[in-house]
Structure 1
Amino acid sequence: MNRQIERWRTWVWVLPAVVLLVVFVYYPIVDNIRLSFFSWSAFSTSPAFVGLDNYTTAATDPVFWHSLWNNVLYAVISLIFQVGLALVLAAVLEEVVHQRLRGILRTIYFIPATISITVAGILFSFVYNPQIGLLNRALGAVGLGSLAQDWLGNPQTAIFGVIGMSQWQSIGYTAVLFVVAIQRIPRELYEAAKVDGAGHVRTFLSVTIPLLREMTTLVVILTMSGAFLVFNEIMVMTAGGPSNSSQVLNTWLYHNAFLTDDMGYASAIGTVIFVITFSISAAQILITRRRRVQW
């Protein structure tokens, strides 16, 4: 009897969270997948079933593939900076920098993460401005004025300008996550490495990286998922232009849903985004579990 009461109490506490997840997460995902098989608009009274036509449209849409490529590019560069460089930065802060400077430097690196994306986007729009921008002026000051250009107005550089802003804003956040994880590593291991004659690089490779595998997995999942969910940065800085050169999947979804009112195609793009992000998370978790079993 007591066990049954405890079970009911458990469900009473868990039920509100379950209801919220079902209503605001799982149901919208399932309904979006269902709607991706229909042709409909915001004013449709009866959506028409079209099967896989929306996905066929995506497969033959050059802007869709270019948007997907931009997301992949975003993910690769983000992994290099927000995972690789952030991990090195965190290790340097904890193992090389003097203790008195650590707190100050952590704060300096973390400040960009506290700035809203809208403000950061507007700030970097001024940095990239072809006439008064800091970047072009800096290039001119060091004798590289020939490289100056309209960074956000050039189809070849627009997406890189947005990605650069995103890395500036996010690297401090992921570095702090790694700092917290490094602080949890027993100091005895570092002392043992010093006794064995290991330098900073060897200690980093043999002690720090192996013991940060769980945090690294988490940061990789967050970084890659974030790269395929990016939206605000693009909308604030380029709105997908020029000539759709900086479109990503989410902005192309927005364009089709709210500018051309093709909700069925937009739902199909949303489903593609869900499949990609879900697959990334599932793959990372599965790999981590297998490594844990092996170790």
Structure 2
Amino acid sequence: MMAIRHRLVPYLFVLPAIILLLVFVYGPAVENVIYSLYAWSSMSPDWRFVGFGNYDELFTNPIFWTALLNNIIYAVMSVLFQVAFALGLAAVLQAGVFGPHLRSFFRTTLFLPSILPVTVVGLLWQLIYQPTIGLIDQLLYSTGLESLSHVWLGEERTALIAVVMVSQWQWTGYMMALFMVAIAAIPRDLYEALELEGASRLQTFRHLTVPGVRESTLIFTVITIFGAFKVFDIVWVMTAGGPNHASEVLGTHMYRSAFRDDVVGYASAVATVIFFLTISVGYVQLKLQRDHG
């Protein structure tokens, strides 16, 4: 009896976490899949079972494919800036290229945007992107490059990139700080050994820093892709998916379907697709970790 009790003790410690996950994560996810099989409205008690009808409508809706493509573009740009570029910044700051005071200044300045509320960031950059009177266009006019000015958030060809770059501005510094922690964990003796062998900074970065933070890079990449496919707030604040769905992402498409068009079953289908996309990314991460572990 005592042996059974000892075996149960570890499970009792994790039981609260399991209950919370079931109630607030897995339960709602399963419920959402069930909701996606019905045509229903939040304003009506009538539910009509349509099976995979919402998914048929979803996969034949050009707005969905535009939103999915925009999410993919968002993910690619985020990986380039928040992983690759952030790693480069972290390596430069950790390498002692700058003095301690300048290093602290850059680290604080680049990290600062990540602590700002998304709504504040969105409204701030709306002002910066304002045509003619915004900071970007003012700089272009003052340097004689007025031909490059645009209605940044009002043109279909620039709206998405404008929003994506705001996200990179906000989160690249945060990822840089995480990479700095990962680089600091690499034994300094290895760097000193490479210096004695005459390795350049670029060779040190390539042959020691990059392999040394490989696991962190994989995790940060997955987190970044998760965020790119779940993005909603910054897009909604800045463009609400416009103009003409040019900056539409899955999150804004789902929100508009549920709360403006009141086709909640269809919106649940969009949410289910987002869920399985993120689950797939998580599966790929686990597989890569096993293959390279």
**TM-score per shorter chain, which class?**
over 0.9
- Work out the CA distance in 2 between the residues paired with 1:270 and 1:30: 11
Q: Does 1:151 align with 2:167?
A: no
Partner of 2:153: helix, strand, or coil? coil
**Other-structure match for 2:216:** 215
Q: Aligned ranges for residues 168-179 of structure 1 at < 5 Å?
A: 168-179=169-180
- Work out the CA distance in 2 between the residues paired with 1:40 and 1:202: 60
**Other-structure match for 1:113:** 114
Partner of 1:75: helix, strand, or coil? helix
**Other-structure match for 2:10:** 10
After superposition, the C-alpha distances for 1:61-100 in whole angstroms (9 at most, x for unaligned) are 1111100111011001111100110000000000022234
Q: Aligned ranges for residues 1-295 of structure 1 at < 5 Å?
A: 1-95=1-95, 96-292=97-293
Q: What's the CA shift for 1:4?
A: 2.7
Instruction: Decide whether the 8 Å contact of 1:113 with 1:172 is kept in 2.
Output: yes
After superposition, the C-alpha distances for 1:103-162 in whole angstroms (9 at most, x for unaligned) are 222111110001010000000000000131000011112221011121001111111111
Q: What's the CA shift for 1:240?
A: 1.0
- Work out the CA distance in 1 between the residues paired with 2:200 and 2:99: 17
What letter corresponds to residue 70 of structure 2 in structure 1?
N
After superposition, the C-alpha distances for 1:241-266 in whole angstroms (9 at most, x for unaligned) are 11111110010000101101101110
Unaligned runs of 5+ in 2: none
What letter corresponds to residue 277 of structure 1 in structure 2?
T
- Work out the CA distance in 2 between the residues paired with 1:290 and 1:99: 39
Instruction: Decide whether the 8 Å contact of 1:217 with 1:285 is kept in 2.
Output: no
- Work out the CA distance in 2 between the residues paired with 1:46 and 1:3: 54
- Work out the CA distance in 2 between the residues paired with 1:85 and 1:46: 51
- Work out the CA distance in 2 between the residues paired with 1:211 and 1:4: 43
Q: What's the CA shift for 1:101?
A: 2.7
- Work out the CA distance in 2 between the residues paired with 1:195 and 1:71: 46
After superposition, the C-alpha distances for 1:191-223 in whole angstroms (9 at most, x for unaligned) are 111112111000000000001011101110111
Q: What's the CA shift for 1:102?
A: 2.3
Q: What is the TM-score normalised by the length of structure 1?
A: 0.96
Q: What's the CA shift for 1:33?
A: 1.0
Q: Percent identity?
A: 46
Unaligned runs of 5+ in 1: none
Runs of 4+ in 1 over 4 A off after TM superposition: none
Q: What's the CA shift for 1:10?
A: 2.6
- Work out the CA distance in 1 between the residues paired with 2:283 and 2:205: 28
What letter corresponds to residue 56 of structure 1 in structure 2?
D
**What RMSD over aligned residues (CA atoms) do the two structures have, in Å?**
1.2
Q: What's the CA shift for 1:38?
A: 1.1
Give the stretch that moved more between structures: 2-11 or 205-214. 2-11
